[in-house]
C-alpha cells in the first residue's frame, strides 16, 4: 500500500496549533504554526495486525488512551505543517499495512560442514607448526 492510497477518516483526527520553534524569525513568537495532530487509532478501522504494527511504529508517540500524536513544525505556515503531519500519518499507516516475510531458517549442508572442519584442521596445523624455536 502506498501513502497516496491511504484513506484517513476525518472523525479520527483532531488538530491543535502551537507556537513552533525553528525557522520563522520573529513570526515564530507571534503565530502558532506548529501542528499537533492527534489520531484515534480505534477510529481508523484498521485490521488488528496492522493496528499492532502501527502501535509499534508509533512507539512513544502512542498514548495509553490509544491516540497517536504527530507534531509537525518543519515549515513556517500552518497549512504546510498540517499537510506534513497528514503525510507522515499516511506513511505510517502504509508501513503498518506491509507484512514482513517470515524468515525461513536454513541449515548448512553436510559438504559445508566438512569444508569448515577441514579449514579448521589446516589452520590448526599452521598454528601448531609455530612452536618455539630451539637452537640445539
Examine the pLDDT at 48 and tell me if it is beyond 70: yes
Place of cell 506548529: 34
Examine the pLDDT at 7 and tell me if it is beyond 80: no
Q: Which has the higher per-residue pLDDT, 65 or 27?
A: 65
CA angle, 115 then 117 then 119, to 5°: 70
Examine the pLDDT at 24 and tell me if it is beyond 70: no
Confidence of residue 100 (pLDDT cuts 50, 70, 90): confident
Check residue 3 and give its pLDDT: 66
Q: Which has the higher per-residue pLDDT, 118 or 90?
A: 118
Mean pLDDT calculated for residue range 122-132: 89
Average pLDDT, the chain: 85
Answer left, alpha or beta for residue 22, where phi above 0 means left and psi between -120 and 50 means alpha.
left
Domains of the chain (ranges plus CATH)?
A: 3-97 (3.30.160.20)
Q: Where are the beta strands (DSSP E) in the chain?
A: 13-18, 34-40, 67-72
Longest dimension (CA), the chain: 93
Closest among 42, 49, 47, 27 to 100, alpha carbons compared: 49
Is the Cβ–Cβ distance between 29 and 19 less than 8 Å?
yes
Calpha distance 94→91 (Å, rounded): 5
Q: What is the pTM of this model?
A: 0.66
Amino acid at each position: 500500500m502506498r501513502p497516496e492510497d491511504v484513506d484517513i477518516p476525518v472523525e479520527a483526527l483532531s488538530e491543535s496549533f502551537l507556537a513552533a520553534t525553528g525557522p520563522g524569525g520573529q513570526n515564530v513568537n507571534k503565530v502558532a504554526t506548529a501542528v499537533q495532530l492527534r489520531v484515534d487509532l480505534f477510529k481508523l478501522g484498521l485490521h488488528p495486525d496492522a493496528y499492532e504494527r502501527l502501535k509499534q511504529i508509533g512507539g512513544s508517540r502512542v498514548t495509553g488512551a490509544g491516540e497517536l500524536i504527530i507534531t509537525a513544525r518543519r515549515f513556517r505556515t500552518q497549512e504546510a505543517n498540517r499537510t506534513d503531519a497528514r503525510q507522515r500519518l499516511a506513511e505510517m499507516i502504509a508501513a503498518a499495512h506491509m507484512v514482513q516475510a517470515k524468515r525461513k531458517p536454513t541449515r548448512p549442508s553436510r559438504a559445508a560442514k566438512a569444508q569448515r572442519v577441514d579449514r579448521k584442521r589446516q589452520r590448526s596445523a599452521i598454528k601448531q607448526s609455530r612452536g618455539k624455536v630451539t637452537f640445539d
